[in-house]
Amino acid sequence: MTLEPLLEINDLCLEYRQNDLVIPVLDRVNLSLAPGKTLGLIGESGCGKTSLAMAVMGLAKSARITGDIRFNGVELTGLKEKELAKFRWNRIALVFQNSQEVFNPVITVGEQVAETLIRHLGLNRAVASQQTASLFKQAGLEPVWQNAYAHQLSGGMRQRVLIAMAVACSPDLLIVDEPFTALDPAAASAMADLIVTLQQHLGFAMILISHAMPAIARMTENIVTLYAGQVIEAGPTQAVLADPCHPYTRGLINACPEFYGYKDLWGIAGTPPSPGSVSGCPFCPRCVQHGPNCSTRRPPLVEAGKSRQVACHKGGITTVLEARGLEKTFDLNGTAVKAVHQADITIKFGEVVALVGPSGSGKSTLAHLLVALEIPDKGRVIFQGTPLTDNRATSCMNGMQLVFQDPTQAVSPRLTVLEAVREPLDIMGWKTQQDRDEKALAALPLVHLSRDTGFLNQPCHALSGGQRQRVSVARALVTDPVLLIADEITAMLDPSAQAHLLRMLKGLQHKQGFSMLFISHDIHLTRKIADRAYVLDQGKIVAKGAGYEVFESTDPSEITFKIQRRV
């Protein structure tokens, strides 16, 4: 049964004006919340989350607001202050971001809670005082703390007082703004427990504004992502966290240390624009898959699957490569050896996908099938929407490139460094010789190789293993690939060279935004960079999912075991 919304926001715009200066904050925001349900509001600082809360509370008094905020069927925008005051705290309450400044420093915190009861429920002081003691208990505080001043309380205790104050009048809607900020993990967990218990007991609907993704995952049914004052994604929390549609939401999730405790975190490249400062998609300057329309037309928020919405001209994160039902059997002296069996793989724009498995599990064969170096017995590979039947995707600009485990396999030892890096462009006859030289020279510093004439003229056989592998990566990068497949490229390097190469590769991927399939038997190395992962064993994909699910699944030793027992 679908519940009538308690809160419905339509086309909400909010801006501040200072003299002739207009500062837009919220831009055509739509959302709804049913009674008793919880909505998570996520986004980087400055995206408009707190302004939205203030608008719903009727506290954004100096702002110019257009659009609708309907609460229980009553339109709140345009109400006179006297009418609004009937809703504020009685029906809609806000737990402010924890700060000493929220409190009056010269009045005890108990008196401040009691004042709320006196003013909004009309209680006399004696009853309000009794009620305050009860609220303190509900919030997990001994009533004796009523007599304290705000500066005498810890951050966690002040947060509890703010919650006691907000639920004092039994509101139908509670907005909680960053309740876990500045709390240590134990205090944050206790705070989440308290809010959940109070909600179960009092039955209010809740908007939870938080950067804490695990709390959002635990406490909310639905999620809304705000970016530069606009809603860019909305949907059921579990579905959004497991498979975000918008590249920005994915970036927020991938930067979450609680999910990816072992991974090097990189954050989202670039910074958000000021709301209203761009005419097209506000995420365009940071988006790895932006297209021609993106900088000029704002994408509308449209349906993107069951109960999901996304604002993206491409319908959300697009798929770069998709392999379905790949099969490959080799005939070894009359013996049929199944190298790859029913393999399905999807790689999306801008993500790092790991393919892990023991030596001989079929990883390299699968990589060769993906780039059409081998033809599958069954199944198909689709690259950028086109079925792959030959090597066209690997011999063009903006295609895909495979970097081999052994650089001597790919690079002729007789070529000089410059010739080796330039060779893919020479083969495809890209532009002029001078353009090709310039492109090759530009790729060398990306992989931390010198552009000195002496080094450029060195034959590749005179390079160290690490240098040769960097030349291989530079050869791939000169073609500006949208997908890089790195097949055990660190396997022949010492640990220090491995670490340097891995960080360099991830740094390039982060900056340039290409997708990467990182193939390795080394689970410890792989999980430093993988957003998602597939585990291959005896030619079959035996596990897949987000990096944190696969590498920290219920039985991670199973993955390690599968790999170690055959290495």
Q: Which of 97, 129, 138, 289 binds ligand SF4 (CB under 6 A)?
A: 289
Query: How far is CA 491 from each of CA 406, 451, 508, rounded to the nearest angstrom?
Result: 9, 26, 20
* Nearest distance in Å: CB 379, ligand SF4: 29
The single-letter code of the amino acid at 337 is: V
* Nearest distance in Å: CB 434, ligand SF4: 33
Instruction: Determine the longest span between alpha carbons in the chain, in angstroms.
Output: 95
* Nearest distance in Å: CB 260, ligand SF4: 22
Residues forming beta bridges with residue 486, ordered by sequence position? 403, 518
Of the ranges 291-299, 372-380, 410-418, 552-560, which one interacts with ligand SF4 (CB under 6 A)? 291-299
The single-letter code of the amino acid at 301 is: L
**Applying CB under 6 A, does 269 fall inside the site for ligand SF4?**
no
**Applying CB under 6 A, does 520 fall inside the site for ligand SF4?**
no
**Applying CB under 6 A, does 314 fall inside the site for ligand SF4?**
yes
Q: Which of 37, 290, 363, 439 binds ligand SF4 (CB under 6 A)?
A: 290
Q: Which of 95, 483, 475, 80 is nearest to 318 (CA)?
A: 483
Residues 6+ apart with CB under 8 A from 500: 448, 466
DSSP structure class, residue 555: -
* Nearest distance in Å: CB 292, ligand SF4: 9
The residue among 188 and 312 lying less far from ligand SF4, judged by its C-beta, is: 312
**Applying CB under 6 A, does 284 fall inside the site for ligand SF4?**
yes
Q: Which of 9, 94, 224, 281 binds ligand SF4 (CB under 6 A)?
A: 281
The residue among 138 and 254 lying less far from ligand SF4, judged by its C-beta, is: 254
> Residue 491, exposed/middle/buried by CB under 10 A (0-12, 13-18, 19+)?
middle
Are 535 and 543 contacting, i.e. CB atoms less than 8 angstroms apart?
yes
The residue among 44 and 423 lying less far from ligand SF4, judged by its C-beta, is: 44
The residue among 287 and 343 lying less far from ligand SF4, judged by its C-beta, is: 287
Of the ranges 147-155, 210-218, 309-317, 489-497, which one interacts with ligand SF4 (CB under 6 A)? 309-317
Pairing verdict, β 21-33 and 7-18:
antiparallel
Of the ranges 143-151, 261-269, 277-285, 391-399, which one interacts with ligand SF4 (CB under 6 A)? 277-285
Instruction: Give the ranges where 289-380 is alpha helix by DSSP (H).
Output: 363-370
What does the CA dihedral 439, 442, 448, 451 come to, rounded to 10 degrees?
100
| x-or-dash string of contact with ligand SF4, 117-146, rule CB under 6 A | ------------------------------
Of the ranges 13-21, 117-125, 279-287, 453-461, which one interacts with ligand SF4 (CB under 6 A)? 279-287
The residue among 24 and 513 lying less far from ligand SF4, judged by its C-beta, is: 513
Are 210 and 182 contacting, i.e. CB atoms less than 8 angstroms apart?
no
The residue among 108 and 512 lying less far from ligand SF4, judged by its C-beta, is: 512
Alpha-carbon distance of 69 to 52, in angstroms, equals 10
Alpha-carbon distance of 215 to 205, in angstroms, equals 16
DSSP structure class, residue 261: T
Of the ranges 13-21, 286-294, 352-360, 489-497, which one interacts with ligand SF4 (CB under 6 A)? 286-294
The residue among 216 and 312 lying less far from ligand SF4, judged by its C-beta, is: 312
Q: How many residues sit close enough to ligand SF4 to count as binding (CB under 6 A)?
A: 13
* Nearest distance in Å: CB 278, ligand SF4: 10
> Residue 221, exposed/middle/buried by CB under 10 A (0-12, 13-18, 19+)?
middle
DSSP structure class, residue 146: G
Q: Which of 5, 244, 299, 481 binds ligand SF4 (CB under 6 A)?
A: 299
**Applying CB under 6 A, does 114 fall inside the site for ligand SF4?**
no
The 378-383 sheet, strands edge to edge: 335-348, 319-332, 378-383, 386-387
**Applying CB under 6 A, does 179 fall inside the site for ligand SF4?**
no
The residue among 224 and 281 lying less far from ligand SF4, judged by its C-beta, is: 281
* Residue 137 neighbours by CB distance under 10 Å: 12
Of the ranges 108-116, 289-297, 434-442, 543-551, which one interacts with ligand SF4 (CB under 6 A)? 289-297
The residue among 5 and 299 lying less far from ligand SF4, judged by its C-beta, is: 299
* Nearest distance in Å: CB 27, ligand SF4: 14
Task: Measure the CA angle with vertex 418, ends 417 and 419; round to 5°.
Answer: 95
The residue among 292 and 334 lying less far from ligand SF4, judged by its C-beta, is: 292
**Applying CB under 6 A, does 312 fall inside the site for ligand SF4?**
yes
- Name which of residues 193 to 252 contact ligand SF4 (CB under 6 A): 247
What does the CA dihedral 378, 383, 386, 390 come to, rounded to 10 degrees?
-60
Residues 6+ apart with CB under 8 A from 52: 9, 12, 14, 26, 29, 41, 226
**SS3 state at 19:** coil
The residue among 191 and 312 lying less far from ligand SF4, judged by its C-beta, is: 312
Q: Which of 342, 314, 316, 317 is nearest to 328 (CA)?
A: 342
List residues near ligand SF4 by CB under 6 A. Answer: 247, 281, 283-284, 287, 289-291, 294, 299, 312-314
